[in-house]
Amino acid sequence: MSFALTAEQEDLRARARDLAERVIAPRAAEVDRTESYPWDNVKALTESGFMGMTIPAAYGGPGRSFLDVTLVVEEMAAQCGVTGRIVVEGNMGAISAILQYGTEEQKRRATELVLSGDKPAICITEPEAGSAATEMTTRADRRGDRWVLNGKKHWITGGGVSRLHLIFARVFDAAGAEQGIGGFLAFRDEDQGLVIGAREPTMGLRGIPETEVLFQDLTLPADRLVVPPSGLKRGFADLMNAYNSQRVGAGTVALGLAEGAYRRALDFAKQREQFGRPIAEFQGLQWMLADMSVQIEAARALIWRAAATAGRNGNPFPDSLAAAQAKIFASEMAIRVSTDALQIHGARGYSRNWPMERIQRDARMFTIGGGTAQVLRTMVASRILERKLPQTRDGYSALAAATGARKQAAE
């Protein structure tokens, strides 16, 4: 695999860095302080063609790769984590699932919204179904030619600002028989029964709302169900496969935050003098900076590798193993690097007049959202051990019993 970017990718990265430094950076502190969604940034991203980059030409986009998207995400997140996340969700996750599995009409509506700046919301997590997402209770019942959804999600990024929602729900046919978990498209301000609930006061990434989203007899036309080719019984797995793109994106925001913290720490260490010398001359700090650079390079290599797996072996999305490995490493790395970068700034790092404390608060999220570092480790273990690792007691017992029976038969 080549690690060299093409001239076009270098150009894309340079354009992203220019926008991030010129337009996004000066607003980052205010976005955090006012906890308001940065519509101005969204406008700038849209005008620069950074929303809907993965949308193919047939739907009006440039059809760029996930790797291209990571180049833009990293630059945005190096200045503003919230803006980095908007670029992720405007190019990966829900929109890429719809592009892969949606009908023509679904693709048309979704791409129109994203290309005009809408960051889709993806609604999976429920108060009682976090890591155990398949325990969700939100249900979609078939009634005549419509679907009626009831249930409650929480921690939905973009609740109240996103128009397009991809909602995961248990699907029941007209006879009340469960069909599996499916994804539904709903549009805020258009579909009756999509209610935005309470906003969560968050530690970081404060410019993007995390809210409850409630479905109160949310009534959708029949054609809003996004059906993967393998049908509903495998639907959830297929939709989650698409989510691997978002996972790579989340890891990239963490990478960008770390990169931003590192660049600032490096500059500061060269300028700040104590004991009559720049503090960069002290070996204690030199080694911290060296470690930061090593970890950032390693994370970037994992992210690029994961993004580049998309399209291999007939899978249009990043490989789940590579995506999980990249997100685990990048998310934990960002916490370490932002802590050290803050330390290098001394008291200034602890001040809200400086960006370091914001970066550290922002970086804290990525070992949690989009699959926790623990759950992703179990995914990695399952792939490298080449066996299912059921986490429910029943699932574990059933597997143990089946394995025991196979062993007995073989003896």
Residues in contact with ligand FAD by CB under 6 A are 122-125, 130-131, 155-157, 205, 210, 365, 368-372, 374-375, 378, 391
Report the alpha-carbon distance of residue 301 to residue 384 in Å, rounded. Answer: 20
Least distance between ligand FAD and beta carbon 208 (Å): 8
Nearest to 39 by CA among 152, 118, 109, 97: 118
Cβ-proximal residue to ligand FAD, closest one: 130
Q: At what angle do helices 93-101 and 81-89 cross, to 10 degrees?
A: 10
The C-alpha angle 269, 267, 76, rounded to 5 degrees, equals 135
CB of 293 to ligand FAD, least distance (A): 27
* DSSP code for 60: T
Residue whose pair of structure tokens reads 């792939």 in the numeric block? 383
Residue 350 near residue 341, CB atoms below 8 Å = no
Taking residue 71's Cβ as centre, other Cβ atoms within 10 Å add up to 24
Of residues 75 and 210, the one with the C-beta less far from ligand FAD: 210
Choose between 161 and 232: whose C-beta lies nearer to ligand FAD: 161
Nearest residue to 299 via CA among 267, 344, 261: 261
Indicate the residue among 169 and 280 with the shorter CB distance to ligand FAD.
169
Report in angstroms how near the CB of residue 210 gets to ligand FAD at its nearest: 5
Q: CA-to-CA distance for 337 and 389, rounded, in angstroms? A: 32
Give the nearer residue to ligand FAD in terms of CB position, either 308 or 325. 325
Residue 313 CB, shortest distance to ligand FAD, in Å, is 27
Judge contact between 339 and 363, C-beta under 8 A. Answer: no
Q: How far is the CB of 123 from ligand FAD (least distance, A)?
A: 6
Nearer to ligand FAD, 130 or 180 (CB): 130
**Closer residue to ligand FAD (CB): 388 or 407:** 388
Beta carbon of residue 205, minimum distance to ligand FAD (angstroms, whole number): 6
